[in-house]
Amino acid sequence: MASVAVGLVAFLALSPFALTEKVGYLESTSCADPKGLVTCYKNAEERYTTCINENCGGGGEACSKSCGGSISCMNSKCPGLGIDCMNVCGAEQSALQMDCAGSHCWNQVYSCEYQDTVIGWIDQYPNPNRDGLPFFPAPDNAPGSCSCNLGKVDRKLYLGTQQMTTCSNNETNLNQFTKVDDITSYGKACRCCAFSSIISSIWDTCPDTKPSLLGADEWFSGVLNPGDWDECGPYLENYDCAGDLGFGREDAGAFSKFWSPTSMPTNGTKTASNIAGAITSPVSGNTFTWSMGETTNAFGRTTSPLIHTVTVTSANAVVTGKGKAQATSDGESTATGTSSSAAESETKPGIGSSLGVPSWTMAGFMVAVLFSTF
Ligand SMILES: *[C@@H]1O[C@H](CO)[C@@H](O)[C@H](O)[C@H]1NC(C)=O
Ligand SMILES: *[C@@H]1O[C@H](CO)[C@@H](O)[C@H](O)[C@H]1NC(C)=O
């Protein structure tokens, strides 16, 4: 029992070797205020460089320049800078990019590109506040939204992996067991249900999208395979993942379908791209705020305000969307658009997504797997 708890507490540990590529996902030309967006992104990049130079040891500037700001490049070329430090700076840049997008590209906030931008921030920020993130996840079938709801995939992955810990520590269930073997089996079942929830998060949320574009391969090689997913069949048959083990709860991801190693869903074949329709007035109204979370960052102080207040640029910029859908402006990100067509926009090239395995999950799962007595 004690060792189970140790393994699962460490589940929350942050990875010291997070590798996140920094890319601006948005196409400025499809934004309400392209020039404003470009300038805003430049400023965010400058802040990133300054942050590295001030906080992450010597030589940061030269390294950042030669690497074009790519964190993985900087980590391999100049490991002395410290990847955690760079991630914190990267998270600040991502947060500023979210502000930039909300302000200058308000017509694209449900797009794959914007949703990716937010996921980029979540993956880098040490303790992100996942509730109340602006326009994230996008409402289903919102005008101009991503054909694969990336935000929803990310949220489900998060809730399902969290539930692994909750499940393993569920006293109601644990108290029924008297035999060590029963406890061991139960722990394995929690893990198998969590693995199955990872598959459901990807395959069931976006059945048409190629799973490898949503991080499936990384989840398999980094988490499921080392965690003996191939032995999960009997556990998924003998335990009630949704009910007794809690994975059906709303705040655990509301999973209802539990795939097993021997009955995997069919792979989608498409890329993710934005569906037809356009947001023609700012969803948020003229200003919106969002909160990063309670954490002071790795430098022991904040480099960026924890509460972001964003002013949307004057909406007289012409948006060249063909759809007639209009989003509500009650700040609730409720899509009331008339565009519910799932037809993929012809004008948008498909993109992948930033949905890799978040560093914290990878590290946590590995620790849990290695130290657990299951
Ligand atoms: C389906 O996708 C997964 C993840 O990318 C991959 O491992 C698997 O081989 C694919 N299956 C088929 C039948 O193509
Ligand atoms: C704990 O187990 C009970 C009984 O099986 C279940 O109903 C409940 O949802 C579980 N609690 C959590 C937080 O998962």
Please tell me if the CB atom of residue 216 comes closer than 6 angstroms to any atom of ligand 1: yes
Residue nearest to atom 9 of ligand 2 (CA): 246
Please tell me if the CB atom of residue 221 comes closer than 6 angstroms to any atom of ligand 1: no
Rounded to the nearest angstrom, the distance between the alpha carbon of 172 and the centre of ligand 2 is: 7
Please tell me if the CB atom of residue 246 comes closer than 6 angstroms to any atom of ligand 2: yes
Whether the predicted model's global pTM rises above the 0.85 cut:
no
Q: Check if the beta carbon of residue 354 is closer than 8 Å to that of residue 116.
A: yes
- Number of residues that make up the chain: 374
Rounded to the nearest angstrom, the distance between the alpha carbon of 225 and the centre of ligand 2 is: 27
Distance between CA atoms of 355 and 353, rounded to whole angstroms? 5
Pocket test of ligand 2: the residue of 161, 162, 182, 244 to mutate, having most ligand atoms within 8 Å of its CB, is 244
Rounded to the nearest angstrom, the distance between the alpha carbon of 216 and the centre of ligand 2 is: 28
pLDDT at 10: 24
Please tell me if the CB atom of residue 210 comes closer than 6 angstroms to any atom of ligand 1: no
Pocket test of ligand 2: the residue of 159, 163, 171, 245 to mutate, having most ligand atoms within 8 Å of its CB, is 245
Of the listed ligands, the closest to the CA of 247 is 2
Q: Check if the beta carbon of residue 369 is closer than 8 Å to that of residue 227.
A: yes
Please tell me if the CB atom of residue 304 comes closer than 6 angstroms to any atom of ligand 2: no
Residue 306 Cα distances to 125, 268, 302, angstroms: 12, 39, 8
Of the listed ligands, the closest to the CA of 229 is 1
Instruction: Phi first, then psi: give them for residue 80, nearest 5 degrees.
Output: -60, -20
pLDDT at 59: 59
**Nearest-CA neighbor of 360 among 139, 177, 123?**
123
pLDDT at 85: 76
Q: Check if the beta carbon of residue 143 is closer than 8 Å to that of residue 341.
A: no
Residues of the chain where predicted confidence (pLDDT) is lower than 70: 1-23, 57-62, 64, 68-72, 74-75, 78-81, 294-305, 314-374
Three-state secondary structure readout of the chain: CHHHHHHHHHHHCCCCCCCCCCCCCCCHHHCCCHHHHHHHHHHHHHHHHHHHHHHCCCCHHHHHHHCCCCHHHHHHHCHHHCHHHHHHHHHHHHHHHHHHHHHHCHHHCCCHHHHHHHHHHHHHCCCCCCCCCCCCCCCCCCCCCECCCHHHHHHHHHHHHHHHHHHHCCHHHHCCCCCHHHHHHHHHHHHHHHHHHHHHHHHCCCCCECHHHHCHHHHHHHHHCCCCHHHCHHHHHHCCCCCCCCCCCHHHCCCCCCCECCECCCCCCECECEECCCCCCCCCCCEEEEECCCCCCCCCCCCCCCEEEEECCCCCCCCCCCCCCCCCCCCCCCCCCCCCCCCECCCCCCECCCCCCCHHHHHHHHHHHHHCCC
Please tell me if the CB atom of residue 202 comes closer than 6 angstroms to any atom of ligand 1: no
Q: Check if the beta carbon of residue 259 is closer than 8 Å to that of residue 265.
A: yes
Could you tell me the two tokens for 265?
Answer: 């869903």
* Residue 141, Ramachandran bin (φ over 0: left; ψ between -120 and 50: alpha; else beta): left
Q: What pairing do the DSSP bridges indicate for beta strands 287-291 and 307-311?
A: antiparallel
Residue nearest to atom 7 of ligand 1 (CA): 217
* Residue 323, Ramachandran bin (φ over 0: left; ψ between -120 and 50: alpha; else beta): beta
> Model confidence over 150-182: pLDDT tens digits?
999 999 999 999 999 999 999 999 999 999 999
Please tell me if the CB atom of residue 170 comes closer than 6 angstroms to any atom of ligand 2: yes
